[in-house]
Structure 1
């Protein structure tokens, strides 16, 4: 079993133990034996397991770092475009409407291309995060399956 799977098994055991302990003592006059299952339903919050795992924390930290860098880049680009727009506006009085229209259309096209490129970068970051989450889920699936099999085999 790999380190990720071992870590996930430990996290799952800890996450599942707390609800079981709460179920076994809640509202019953005679408490069931330790380890007995009160409910035949096992719920695994795979998102919570992902978020609380070292792998999930690392992926989330990397995503925050990359998003922060992209946001910083967006602010720089926005400042550059605002400066360029002001310069274009100042030139307007000295130009014919036709000449200004050519420059204004070129500027608008540049803004649209930049926006499209930055949106693509954001989508790529989201896709990378989804790939990492998929890797975790793929590694977790056998652990979840084994946990569910063990849970199902317990005597009620």
Structure 2
């Protein structure tokens, strides 16, 4: 990636739209959800220079080369985890069935010893498999956070190009012109300048 662009000191960049929501008191009726609306501008219209611009955070990530690469990794690693979980479940089930069959021929004390050892090992396997899932989820969160950190300078660059002082999460805006939405243009610039972000946040156990 090239040199870091600096945001204008007067810029207000709003990305945490979810923080605007507040929980209603327990028992209070839920507030009606206001529908957001984007007014379409004529096809081929030039991007509008405006003090306020919008971006869809989720689309920005999922439509980018970086987000697509992340999703591929999640699907691949998730498939491996599921296959290994199935293998271990079948193995433990077979061992449990074998131990049950031996119960009639084993000394009660020996059976209890083997049963306790089996339970201890099964519990440890479940803990390890849960940790694997947790590690993958943590990686995905860190990778997404790294994407937004890398995207901010480019977003600030586009803000200045269009004379804006703020970028709002599109989902928090009640009504707006689609001409002030940066999402697709920003995705193109992110793909050009950042690529797919491979290796930025290494995945444990995966070679770069």
Same fold (TM over 0.5): yes
Q: CA offset at residue 35 of structure 1?
A: 5.5
Q: Which residue of 2 aligns with 1:109?
A: 120
Query: How has the CA–CA distance of structure 1 residues 92 and 35 changed in structure 2, closer, same or farther, with 3 Å as cutoff?
Result: closer
C-alpha distance in structure 1 between counterparts of 2:128 and 2:38, whole Å: 50
Deviation at 1:21, TM superposition (A): 6.5
- Unaligned regions of 5+ residues in structure 2, if any? 6-36, 166-208
1:51 aligns with 2:62: yes
Q: Which residue of 2 aligns with 1:82?
A: 93
| CA–CA separation in structure 1 for the residues paired with 2:142 and 2:48 | 38
Choose which of 65, 79, 90 in structure 2 pairs with 1:68: 79
Match of 1:152 among 164, 167, 172: 164
Of the three residues 132, 142, 158, the one matched with 1:131 is 142
The verdict on how the C-alpha distance between 1:36 and 1:82 changes in structure 2, with shifts beyond 3 A counting, is closer
Aligned length: 129
TM-superposed CA distance for 1:146, in Å, is 2.8
5+ long unaligned stretches in structure 1: 6-18, 26-32
Farther off after superposition, 105-114 or 120-129: 120-129
Q: 1:42 is paired with a residue of what secondary structure? A: strand
Q: Secondary structure at the match of 1:93?
A: coil
Aligned partners of 2:133 and 2:46: how far apart in 1?
50
Q: Which structure ranks higher in relative contact order (CA pairs < 8 Å, sequence separation ≥ 6)? A: 2
- Residue deviations 1:105-150 (CA, integer Å, cap 9, x gap): 1100001000011111111111111222122111101122233343
Q: Which has the higher helix share?
A: 1
Counterpart selection for 1:122 from 133, 138, 152: 133
TM-score (norm 2): 0.55
Once the two structures are TM-superposed, the CA of residue 40 in structure 1 deviates from its matched residue by 6.2
RMSD value, Cα: 2.7
